[in-house]
Structure 1
């Protein structure tokens, strides 16, 4: 594949980003009666869910979608039509995210692009004074994650990462149970997510070059010839994502950090391979990672796209085993006079993850999945992805905020 490197000038040109210094901040806390206007950047499947969520909140939270951006015209037009039906007014439409960020009728943006766009677009949004909801993984590079975190704090922006388990009641209940000490010292968390169907195999024969703003799609990627698979099946390619680690492990490793009140792993190792799906993919179809945390536990996670058995999420303590998603605990594996019997956790209520973001835009409080936690899951998934690619154990220096082999 012949590629042409992208420059910063190219990046700004294709994003149509022409923002003055005065656009750095746009006020502080919003009043209860102030409408919050939101722009959607990326209007695929995940964005469709967010549009529906915001539609449900339009009266209770006084929100409106005022702009939609997507490089593929059918996606963009379908999203705009849905927004019109939900909110009663047609939104501004564009294929260039910079045009959304430059609008005065956009207070915040939801970024639901392919993975490679998440943090670069978020950085520009933060520079433009917008609040942000960004899908996971928050970043594919630690350098960009650092820049985004620093900008969010400097500009006092509200950023919610799309790791919604932090708003779900079962994980809150599990965290409280672990903190109570009843499980005993926790030294291992084990998880697996397995499927056996080509859920990524989106049709692409209807994706025509004349309907795609290809330069806008590749805004920060090497320049390559139009290929509909890079748009419709971007999950398979290294120029678009770091693979299973970012696509899936981001949720599960974030849950582990939340349960244990942990932050960054000390080190990560990973193995995987392309064993079954010979469909042109560049990423593995089986992946297994181990991450060591300084809080005193090992997190192991695997995913296979070749067999759907073995799904679980278990927390192993001296006194037994906890299954957060089942709100269940037992003495399985436990020992000593504090060994648990079988029992159920008292459920805690779920929170609407998008509503939590909107609420925090008014209060200026940090949301459930604040950018700090997004930074943490990004570092963990980047370490695992790089361990797989390099064949080396990757370490993280918290003071310098850098990853290195060793």
Structure 2
């Protein structure tokens, strides 16, 4: 590729350290700015990624002074919409925003609208769908390795917005991003004292993470337009002892199982060839640790050629809709048909005591 290097900036340098290392490793990009409320955190990210990026504590100032081609947003979820909109309105050509897209559908839709009006490419960090186990899983399902898919299952630690967003995106990707018809969910939330700070440790529940309210556990069922169903167990409702992002596809002639991030083998299949599970050969070496470089390589290609990106916001907005529909179902105690009409975060409405739809 002979095009000039794309000038990239990152805001949120704790999580963004991984993004900084990925960008610095790629010849398609030049890392020109790092922004964090704590300047020392930004300096540390600069030192670990080559040490040449300018340091900022103000995102607007960085955008104005650096005028980047790409902005990478790796801040807590509550700031995603505001920072994405700020970048698009400043003329940034592409924004990579970490998952989940936003805290509510109103913010997510606004992000899409502003980026489309500004001709800014927006992608959301659901990079797991680009990893070898799920690419292989999707191909095997399409080839009929397990017959007709009947049920998809996912379980993981964490809350349904922060962590379940990965699960939803993975299962949607396995179907070729088929649309969801309806969502039915139940959730529970431990009592907590008001005013406790955000907590990132799964083992300590304060009722808030990443700038938004969270639940203790959730159980979700949904149906795709084809009639295929999916089930999710997250947080304290997850299967005991299960690994993070334990994913299974069940067909009428077999099963595919990715037993979590630390599973070995990474993907197993049960079909007519054997009574139990055996390792499935991946299409390529597992590149999960290379996930971000792969995402950004594809971003450069998309920016130069107009090729759609696998993590496009047009896909992520449906993931967001499914996640929010689960919370709305839990709030109202009934099945929610899509498209979702609720723009606010239903868990906020629950905590405010709004039992019925406004």
Alignment of 1:4-403 (within 5 A): 32-44=2-14, 46-57=15-26, 60-61=27-28, 63-71=29-37, 73=38, 76-84=39-47, 86-94=49-57, 96-130=58-92, 131-194=94-157, 244-275=159-190, 279-281=205-207, 283-305=214-236, 308-311=240-243, 312-324=246-258, 326-331=266-271, 339=272, 341=274, 343-349=278-284, 350=287, 352-397=294-339, 402-403=341-342
Measured after TM superposition, the shift of residue 103 of structure 1 is 3.4
- Shift of the alpha carbon at 1:100? 2.8
5+ long unaligned stretches in structure 1: 1-30, 195-242, 332-338
Separation of aligned partners in 1, 2:96 and 2:119: 14
Task: List alignment gaps of at least 5 residues for structure 2.
Answer: 192-202, 209-213, 260-265, 344-355
CA drift of 1:119 comes to 2.2
Cα deviation, 1:102-140, whole Å, max 9, x if unaligned, reads: 334311111111111112321232232321111111122
Which 4+ residue blocks in structure 1 deviate beyond 4 angstroms? 275-279, 305-308, 403-406
Provide the aligned length of Structure 1 versus Structure 2.
310
TM-score (norm 1): 0.68
Q: Is the 8 A contact 1:264 1:379 kept in 2?
A: no
Q: 1:169 to 1:251 in 2, by over 3 A?
A: same
The structure having more radius of gyration, on CA atoms, is 1
Would the alpha carbon gap of residues 90 and 127 (structure 1) be closer, same or farther in structure 2, given more than 3 Å must change? Answer: closer
Aligned-pair Cα RMSD in Å: 2.8
SS of 1:299's partner is: strand
Q: Once the 2 structures are TM-superposed, how far is the Cα of residue 265 of structure 1 from its aligned partner? A: 2.1
Q: Distance in 2 between matches of 1:321 and 1:122?
A: 40
For residues 293-342 of structure 1, what are the alpha-carbon distances to aligned partners after superposition, in whole Å with 9 as ceiling and x for unaligned? 213211111123488513431101111111146322114xxxxxxx5635
Secondary structure at 2:226's aligned position in 1? Answer: coil
CA distance in 1, matches of 2:19, 2:236: 26
